[in-house]
Amino acid sequence: METLLALLVGVYFGVSVYLMMSRHIIRILIGVAVLGNGVNLLIFTSGRLTRETPPIIPQDPEKMAQIIANPLPQALILTAIVISFSFLAFLLVLAFRTYQELGTDDTVLMRVAEPENEATPPVSY
């Protein structure tokens, strides 16, 4: 199962890099969301995939020899989900405002600070 999830994490990373290299902002934002999901799945997989083992350390030291699930990756993933959702919501609002102002979502056409008819700045002094 860990091998399958490791391959899935690799697919998530590959898809996210492909989407983030696009010229359109909405694809870049979807790539950021997929990257966040890939990182969450990577953290979840690193925390061991055991079923029916509680993440609680028993009082009896003889039961310590049994497999115990690690609760830290689960807590990290829950926190990361909340943070990535709020970050994605902020980026979507920012991209929508940019689209309203400039009328395009193409990053090449958004070069307002570098007009095409002006001379280029000096390269060296």
Q: Is residue 107 part of a domain?
A: no
Domain carrying residue 44: 2-51+70-102
123: tokens are 């390269």
Short-list 44, 19, 46, 22, CA closest to 32: 19
Q: Is residue 112 part of a domain?
A: no
Q: Is residue 117 part of a domain?
A: no
In this structure, the dihedral spanned by the alpha carbons of residues 41, 7, 20 and 43, taken in order and rounded to 10 degrees, is 20
pLDDT one-digit tens code per residue, 103-120: 888 888 887 777 777 777
pLDDT of residue 48: 67
Do you know the residue count of the chain? 125
Q: Is residue 57 part of a domain?
A: no
Short-list 16, 24, 43, CA closest to 98: 24
Q: What is the CATH number of the domain that holds 87?
A: 1.10.287
Distance CA 53, CA 14 (A): 33
How many domains is the chain partitioned into structurally?
A: 1
pTM of the model: 0.74
The residues near 53 (Cβ < 8 Å, ≥ 6 apart) are 66, 67, 68, 69
Q: Is residue 78 part of a domain?
A: yes
Assess contact for 55 and 70: CB atoms under 8 A.
yes
pLDDT one-digit tens code per residue, 5-50: 889 999 999 999 999 999 999 999 999 999 999 999 998 887 766 6
